[in-house]
Amino acid sequence: MNSPHPFSRFVAILARGKTKMRALTQDEAEQAMSMILAGEALPEQIGAFLMLQRLKEETPEEIAGFALATRRLLDLPAEIPEVDIDWSSYAGKRIQLPWFILSALALAGAGYRVFMHGTDGHTPGRVYTQETLQRLGVPIAGSLAEAAEQLRRHRFAYAPLEVLNPTLRRLIELRPVFGLRSPVHSFTRMLNPFGAPMMMQGIFHRGFMEVHAGAARLLEQPRMAVFRGEGGEIERRPNKPTVVWTTQGSAPPAEETWPALLDSPHRPADPDMDTGVLARIWRGDADDAYGRAAITGTMAIALKTMGRAADQKRAQELAERIWDGRDLSRLLPERPAAAE
């Protein structure tokens, strides 16, 4: 009789039926993801495992375990750069432009070191961070060592998921195969490769606020803010109140509501999604009240979470000063479409 495959126990834990199935412990989650990333699980097992997780929905312990397993395999440079903010970008935008990119670049220009990581292309019809940064003339890191050098020189770096872990990139690309997102979309946001003391998290489904806050506590992340961002990205919706959960280490999360910055509660979908607009807004060649509010409002959450402002009002005022004083030459001119 053939012996059970070593990975089969993790599938069995999730699939024993309504009365016997359970979530993985943090240790089990770490072991399971370690086997997947080491190539020790069969494709059929991985597919079953990811979709059973999707059906059950991930727990904070599972997200923390998956993140820890991945962190152990990161190809980190010998000298870890100092980073102030870890900023994940895995959703893509389809209704509004990715204004949060200008938030991150403005913070970097003000002296805060921002490391951004993410992926693109897994869902058709979306505008992704990597392609937007490339159009703005911002280089993409081909390794974590290159990202570290960019952080030292420019205080900003973006690395695609395949740089962090190629296997995770392949797994996240299974979304059209499954027709659903998988836990990979959730825990990659928690990787924080350079150990930044502050993480920003944007989610789409409200239930994941508790999951990410719980995982941050288990990972003893010094500071983190998580909120329902526009399109699931780390971007405050300025025309609606925003509920933000913040955590500090293992302490219970605090919940805070940030008011709407604009009077109009409705913003029509952008029919063009022309990312070239971002460069024109940055250079001051164009203006957009919604965009400006999204940019500064997102920065305000980051600044307060970092402890750079005592309250919401002062955080917003500081964000507006940073935006008004931005270095207009920091972005390269928009490249012609034919050169892209």
Query: Per residue in 121-168, pLDDT tens?
Result: 777 789 999 999 999 999 999 999 999 999 999 999 999 999 999 999
Out of 71, 101, 118, a domain closes at 71
- For residues 64 and 27, give the distance between their C-alpha atoms in angstroms, rounded to a whole number: 9
In a domain, 317, yes or no: yes
Out of 24, 40, 71, a domain closes at 71
In a domain, 1, yes or no: no
In a domain, 76, yes or no: no
In a domain, 27, yes or no: yes
Residues 60 and 161 in one domain: no
Residues 169 and 258 in one domain: yes
**By the 8 A CB rule, do 151 and 159 touch?**
no
> For the whole model, what pTM was predicted?
0.94
- For residues 222 and 199, give the distance between their C-alpha atoms in angstroms, rounded to a whole number: 9
- For residues 310 and 89, give the distance between their C-alpha atoms in angstroms, rounded to a whole number: 27
pLDDT of residue 332: 52
Q: Pick the closest to residue 137 from 326, 328, 279 (CA basis).
A: 279
Query: Mean pLDDT, to the nearest integer, of 288-297?
Result: 97
pLDDT at residue 335 is higher than 60: no
In a domain, 339, yes or no: no
Q: Give how many domains the chain has, as a whole number.
A: 2
Residue 26 structural domain: 8-71
**In this predicted model, what pLDDT tens digit does every residue of 238-290 receive, in sequence order?**
999 999 999 999 899 999 999 999 998 788 999 999 999 999 999 999 999 99
- For residues 44 and 213, give the distance between their C-alpha atoms in angstroms, rounded to a whole number: 31
Residues 96 and 51 in one domain: no
Residues 57 and 135 in one domain: no
**By the 8 A CB rule, do 72 and 34 touch?**
yes
**CATH code assigned at 30:** 1.20.970.10
**CATH code assigned at 291:** 3.40.1030.10
> Residue 15 class from Cβ within 10 Å (0-12 exposed, 13-18 middle, 19+ buried)?
middle
Residues 64 and 157 in one domain: no
In a domain, 2, yes or no: no
Residues 151 and 56 in one domain: no
In a domain, 80, yes or no: no
Residues 155 and 304 in one domain: yes
**By the 8 A CB rule, do 134 and 140 touch?**
yes
Tokens representing 300 are: 């305000």
In a domain, 214, yes or no: yes
Residues 28 and 161 in one domain: no
Residues 45 and 105 in one domain: no
End-to-end Cα distance, the chain: 58
Residues 65 and 89 in one domain: no
- For residues 256 and 176, give the distance between their C-alpha atoms in angstroms, rounded to a whole number: 36
Out of 71, 97, 116, a domain closes at 71
Residues 64 and 90 in one domain: no
Residues 112 and 54 in one domain: no
Question: How many residues would you count in the chain?
Answer: 340
